[in-house]
Structure 1
Amino acid sequence: MKALSIAFTLLVAFNSFTIASPVRTVDKRQNSQLVGYLGAFFLGNEPYVYFDLSNGNNALSFSPLNRGGPILIPTSGTGGIRDPSLISGGGGESGRKWYIIGTDLHIGKTDWDTAQRHGSLSIFVWESTDLVNWSQERLVKVENDNAGMVWAPDAIWDEEAGQYMVHWSSRFFAGNDPNHAGTRSASMIRYAYTSDFRTFSEPKTYIDPSPLSVIDLAFIHMGGNSYARFLKNEASNPSVYMERSDNGLFGTWTRPGGPNAYIREGVEGPYAYRDNLDPNKTYLLVDYYGADGYRPLQSTNLNSQNSWVDADRSSFPQLRRHGSVISITQDRYDALQAKWR
């Protein structure tokens, strides 16, 4: 009986540790129902939404869906989407709703200066109840007219607010410069709240390190009030770096390793996701925009910039650009295979 009592105590302790393990806000990691991953990306010269489905629960092995063709091709705005972000429903929409949001930009039809002065102030939005059938896209304006563009929108469910916090990068021009012909501001991170990706609150500034520019913000929820966030600075030696907060999305953020520490140089579009099976492993995709696109990194310590190491990319799809990855359940996995393979 004493042996049984000890075994029961150990079992309770193990289960408590498992429940307390870090989780991402919307993916409910360490959930036995999670059997794989779905990735959404764009290609450099093909700004449409492409899907890759993992080969089982291997977080680094994916196969293209739809024979490698696009899943979603926008017909409004510029006709091109960059930086697609898959958003799993939060709150009452958890497990019942998914969104794709992205940048309204087809760079083949413009140039980078024009795109930052007279770019779209709206984001693309698609929604789905099964990850297979998607609504017609809509363009939703999220920024005011002093902005020159809205780039790389992403979202995280804010438990405290009970809404989605949507964030993006923008540059601004003086109010007496309606043609945006003068000096533009540094690029900063802006945000707004929404419950339905149709109506948004007034945009506010979230991160403004002027005169330094920052773009491509992505979060990962570590459980409780702890978060990590990843950004790209636009300095003379652009790099992606990580910051940590243990008191919420609007808490105190610190940069492990100090103000000059970074994860990689010459990359952008960071996106982090958790391993469904290993509670200690996190993956970070970084876009080598001057080379072959996304390459995966991995870490077991989100308190150090130096902990990120190159992951096995032998089965990771090549030429993917700034996108996202979410965890999925068996029914979603089977439905995606049935539809697109």
Structure 2
Amino acid sequence: MKFSHLLPTILVASAVVLALPTETTESAEIAQRADSSLVGYLGIFFLGNAPNIYFYLSNGNNALSFKGLNKGQPILKPSSGTGGVRDPSIISGAGAEAGKKWYIIGTNLDIGKTTWDKAQRKGSLSIYIWESTDMINWGAERLVKVENDNAGMVWAPDAIWDPSKGMYLVHWASKFYSASDSGHTGNPGPDQIRYAYTSDFKTFTTPQTFISASSSIIDLSILQLGDNSFARFIKNESATNVYMERSDTGLFGTWTRPGGATSYIRSGVEGPYAYMDNQVQGRVILLLDYFGGDGYRPFTSTNLNANSWTDADRSSFPSNLRHGSVVGIPQDKYNALNTKWG
């Protein structure tokens, strides 16, 4: 979510975790195996001042090569709420919905109709949701309120399946005002990461705080490495950098930061999104949005116990893509997407 261009670029480390990284567990490493059932990738993004959802299909099973679908025109345009969607995330169904359902969720915000200050004080507390059983037909969006009225906004929603709960954990960034400040005219606290559970993306549990810090944090993305191992990527809004943490004890376990408490991956970036390579075992691709430049750039790593990321080949990666997401897809879905919009 782009707001940080209005803030000074200072390297203030988030105070979320101060522990040192743990060793990778054997089970987590095994789980990072390539998936032969996936033959390509679908990426969904918004484009700068065009707050709609655009689809990009990989060229074959290349995790770094994409082409725009629908002749570069948007696939989904919201008609409710603000009429603009940012930070779209596509979530593959899990549990009983595995291989049968996909969801797209996003921020309800058209910044061209408001200001960044208003968007944080009296912004939408609802998220856009689309769902599909075939990745082609998405129907009309619905707006679902997920946050309480003391919040100023809900930004960059994303979700991950929590195997310990058998439900989807949906998370987003919000900042909060005093309950006595109903007009949200005073000073709020720092941005924090909130969450709620859902089984259908229609009803949600009461929101709670997932991650808080002394400085504002937004744009959380979580990658599952194994049954109980996860990596999460967060933007320090004050420092305008993105850092990574790892847990081998579940989503609510002990999170540690590889490289130390002040380490980060890159500065001047936001909207991190990580996905596994379909073909190369243990290879992770990380997208970072250079909000003051040409949008998403890809990076790779094969060791999530170290703060070591390599600039990836960008020769076939589109420029000017903004905060979005990528999911691996099987042959029938790849063919269907290519036939419909290729």
TM-score using structure 1 length: 0.91
Q: Which structure is larger by alpha-carbon Rg, 1 or 2?
A: 1
In the alignment, the residues of structure 2 paired with residue 129 and residue 85 of structure 1 have an alpha-carbon distance, to the nearest angstrom, of 16
Question: Residue 160 in 1 paired to residue 161 in 2?
Answer: no
Counterparts in 2 of 1:326 and 1:45: CA distance versus 1, 3 Å: same
The aligned residue for residue 67 of structure 1 is 71
Displacement of 1:19: 11
Displacement of 1:283: 0.3
Does the CA contact (< 8 Å) of 1:288 and 1:295 recur in 2?
A: yes
Counterparts in 2 of 1:234 and 1:18: CA distance versus 1, 3 Å: closer
Structural mapping, 1:15-94, within 5 Å: 21-23=30-32, 30-94=34-98
Residue identity in the other structure for 2:221: A
What's the CA shift string for 1:276-298, capped at 9, x where partnerless? 00112100000000001000000
Residue identity in the other structure for 2:49: N
Question: Residue 316 in 1 paired to residue 317 in 2?
Answer: yes
Residue identity in the other structure for 2:160: I
The aligned residue for residue 250 of structure 1 is 252
Does the CA contact (< 8 Å) of 1:100 and 1:126 recur in 2?
A: yes
Displacement of 1:80: 0.3
Displacement of 1:32: 1.6
In the alignment, the residues of structure 1 paired with residue 160 and residue 27 of structure 2 have an alpha-carbon distance, to the nearest angstrom, of 23
Q: Which runs of 5+ in 1 are unaligned?
A: 1-16, 24-28
Does the CA contact (< 8 Å) of 1:22 and 1:279 recur in 2?
A: no
In the alignment, the residues of structure 2 paired with residue 335 and residue 18 of structure 1 have an alpha-carbon distance, to the nearest angstrom, of 34
Higher relative contact order (CA 8 A, sep 6+): 2
Q: Which runs of 5+ in 2 are unaligned?
A: 1-25
Question: Residue 108 in 1 paired to residue 115 in 2?
Answer: no
Residue identity in the other structure for 1:313: R
In the alignment, the residues of structure 2 paired with residue 224 and residue 19 of structure 1 have an alpha-carbon distance, to the nearest angstrom, of 7
Displacement of 1:185: 1.1
Counterparts in 2 of 1:19 and 1:292: CA distance versus 1, 3 Å: closer
Residue 34 of structure 1 aligns to a residue in which SS? coil
What's the CA shift string for 1:21-76, capped at 9, x where partnerless? 224xxxxx623221000000000110000000000000000000000000000000
In the alignment, the residues of structure 1 paired with residue 298 and residue 29 of structure 2 have an alpha-carbon distance, to the nearest angstrom, of 26
Does the CA contact (< 8 Å) of 2:173 and 2:194 recur in 1?
A: yes
Does the CA contact (< 8 Å) of 2:300 and 2:312 recur in 1?
A: yes
Q: 1:125 aligns with which of 129, 134, 158?
A: 129
Displacement of 1:163: 0.3
Residue 185 of structure 1 aligns to a residue in which SS? coil
The aligned residue for residue 282 of structure 1 is 284
In the alignment, the residues of structure 2 paired with residue 214 and residue 19 of structure 1 have an alpha-carbon distance, to the nearest angstrom, of 27
Q: What is the percent sequence identity of the aligned residues? A: 65
In the alignment, the residues of structure 2 paired with residue 85 and residue 19 of structure 1 have an alpha-carbon distance, to the nearest angstrom, of 24
Residue 186 of structure 1 aligns to a residue in which SS? coil
The aligned residue for residue 144 of structure 1 is 148
Counterparts in 2 of 1:314 and 1:18: CA distance versus 1, 3 Å: farther
In the alignment, the residues of structure 1 paired with residue 297 and residue 283 of structure 2 have an alpha-carbon distance, to the nearest angstrom, of 16
The aligned residue for residue 294 of structure 1 is 296
The aligned residue for residue 339 of structure 1 is 340
Question: Residue 190 in 1 paired to residue 190 in 2?
Answer: no
The aligned residue for residue 328 of structure 1 is 329
The aligned residue for residue 9 of structure 1 is none
What's the CA shift string for 1:81-106, capped at 9, x where partnerless? 00000000010000000000000000
Q: 1:230 aligns with which of 208, 213, 233?
A: 233
Does the CA contact (< 8 Å) of 1:171 and 1:185 recur in 2?
A: yes
In the alignment, the residues of structure 2 paired with residue 200 and residue 184 of structure 1 have an alpha-carbon distance, to the nearest angstrom, of 25
In the alignment, the residues of structure 1 paired with residue 30 and residue 263 of structure 2 have an alpha-carbon distance, to the nearest angstrom, of 27
Q: 1:265 aligns with which of 264, 267, 276?
A: 267
Residue 31 of structure 2 aligns to a residue in which SS? coil
In the alignment, the residues of structure 1 paired with residue 28 and residue 136 of structure 2 have an alpha-carbon distance, to the nearest angstrom, of 31
Q: CA RMSD in A?
A: 1.3
Residue identity in the other structure for 2:271: G
In the alignment, the residues of structure 1 paired with residue 77 and residue 30 of structure 2 have an alpha-carbon distance, to the nearest angstrom, of 38
Aligned residue pair count: 317
Displacement of 1:303: 0.9
The aligned residue for residue 305 of structure 2 is 303
Counterparts in 2 of 1:106 and 1:19: CA distance versus 1, 3 Å: closer
The aligned residue for residue 10 of structure 1 is none
Displacement of 1:18: 11
Structural mapping, 1:198-217, within 5 Å: 198-210=202-214, 212-217=215-220
In the alignment, the residues of structure 2 paired with residue 297 and residue 277 of structure 1 have an alpha-carbon distance, to the nearest angstrom, of 16
Residue 225 of structure 2 aligns to a residue in which SS? strand
